Every structure is written in structure tokens, then in C-alpha cells.
């Protein structure tokens, strides 16, 4: 019962991501990292070269296909990212949040799950394990559609 009364939070594993990139493609590298919810915490110019060494924290869940995205978006200028486990991080978002007040409904709308990536993580795991989910499934589609002639 105490679990339900307290705010629910998920913990995610984080990688320390180290990537070298040319200065011309640095903005595209930042875009790829930010799309995958990464946090850049240092950027250094290597002596005698035009390469920047960028270090960021990247969620492990978002790291699948990361190297391919880097190659595609930076045209090969940023390749071979080094991903090393760094730490565990609490995701500061309620997976079961539902807007209650009028102000919350104006800000978030009636259905918040489209933007709630924590809820999406829970749904993916529940689907993989074969557990029940909050998903509406059409049982008899023929009965629910309108036929015009």
C-alpha cells in the first residue's frame, strides 16, 4: 500500500558516451544526442587537430542504434562512440500522471501518454513479458465501422 501512496519513479541505467567529431558536424552531433535524451557535460578541442571530444550521459534504453544514427546524421564525421556504464539515474517523471485540475488540462491536454516516455518504457516491458496493458484493442472491427454504398 505504501508503494501506491508515494510518487512512482523509474530508475534508468546511464552510459558515459565519448565521441570525437569534426567542428563542422558538431551541431548535428548535439542534435542526435539530444533526440536520445542525452546530456552533454564536456567538450574539448584536441590539440593539433580539428576534432572535438564530446562527453555525454546517454540512457542505455536510448542507445540502441545510436552509432548508426551518428553515421547517418553527421555524414561519417562522428563515428565509433565509446559507451561505458556510468551510473543509475532516477527519471523525474510520473508514469501514471493524469491531469486533474483545469490548469493541468490546459497545459497537458486530456491524454498525456503520448509525451510520457516513462509510461512508454513500462508499456514496452509489459508487452515483452506478456502482462496486461492499458491498450484498447478492437475485437470486431467489422461491427464498428460504418459502411457507405
> Is residue 66 one of the residues assigned to a domain?
yes
Residues 21 and 74 in one domain: yes
> Is residue 80 one of the residues assigned to a domain?
yes
> Is residue 5 one of the residues assigned to a domain?
no
> Is residue 99 one of the residues assigned to a domain?
yes
Average pLDDT, the chain: 82
Q: Give the pLDDT band of residue 18 (cuts 50, 70, 90).
A: very high
> Is residue 145 one of the residues assigned to a domain?
no
Q: Give the pLDDT band of residue 38 (cuts 50, 70, 90).
A: very high
- Mean pLDDT, to the nearest integer, of 131-146? 68
Residues 51 and 82 in one domain: yes
> Is residue 34 one of the residues assigned to a domain?
yes
Higher pLDDT, 25 or 1: 25
Q: Give the pLDDT band of residue 35 (cuts 50, 70, 90).
A: very high
CATH number at residue 46: 3.30.70.240
Q: Give the pLDDT band of residue 25 (cuts 50, 70, 90).
A: confident
Domain region containing 112:
93-129
Residues 53 and 15 in one domain: yes
Residues 86 and 97 in one domain: no
Split into its structural domains, the chain has a count of 2
Q: pLDDT digit string (tens) for 47-90?
A: 888 889 999 999 998 889 999 999 999 888 887 899 999 999 98
Residues 105 and 87 in one domain: no
Residues 109 and 78 in one domain: no
Q: Which three cell numbers stand for residue 1?
A: 500500500
DSSP state of 50: S
> Is residue 38 one of the residues assigned to a domain?
yes
Residues 82 and 104 in one domain: no
Helix intervals (H) in the chain: 2-5, 26-35, 66-73, 102-108, 117-129, 141-144
> Is residue 118 one of the residues assigned to a domain?
yes
User: Any residues with CB less than 8 A from the CB of 74 and at least 6 apart, and which?
Assistant: 21, 25, 28, 29, 32
Q: Give the Cα separation of 119 and 100 in Å (integer).
A: 18
Percent of the chain with pLDDT over 70: 79
Residues 78 and 110 in one domain: no
pTM to 2 decimals? Answer: 0.71
Q: pLDDT digit string (tens) for 79-125?
A: 789 999 999 998 887 777 777 778 877 776 666 556 777 888 888 88
Amino acid at each position: 500500500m505504501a508503494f501506491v501512496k508515494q510518487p512512482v519513479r523509474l530508475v534508468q541505467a546511464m552510459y558515459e558516451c565519448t565521441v570525437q567529431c569534426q567542428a563542422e558536424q558538431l551541431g548535428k552531433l548535439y542534435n542526435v544526442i539530444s533526440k536520445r535524451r542525452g546530456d552533454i557535460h564536456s567538450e574539448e578541442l584536441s590539440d593539433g587537430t580539428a576534432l572535438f571530444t564530446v562527453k555525454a550521459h546517454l540512457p542505455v534504453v536510448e542507445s540502441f542504434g545510436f552509432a548508426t544514427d551518428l553515421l547517418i546524421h553527421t555524414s561519417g564525421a562522428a563515428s565509433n562512440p565509446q559507451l561505458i556504464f556510468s551510473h543509475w539515474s532516477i527519471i523525474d517523471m510520473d508514469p501514471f500522471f493524469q491531469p486533474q485540475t483545469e490548469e493541468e488540462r490546459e497545459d497537458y491536454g486530456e491524454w498525456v501518454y503520448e509525451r510520457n516516455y516513462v509510461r512508454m518504457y513500462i508499456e514496452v516491458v509489459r508487452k515483452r513479458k506478456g502482462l496486461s496493458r492499458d491498450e484498447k484493442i478492437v475485437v470486431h472491427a467489422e461491427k464498428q465501422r460504418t459502411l457507405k454504398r
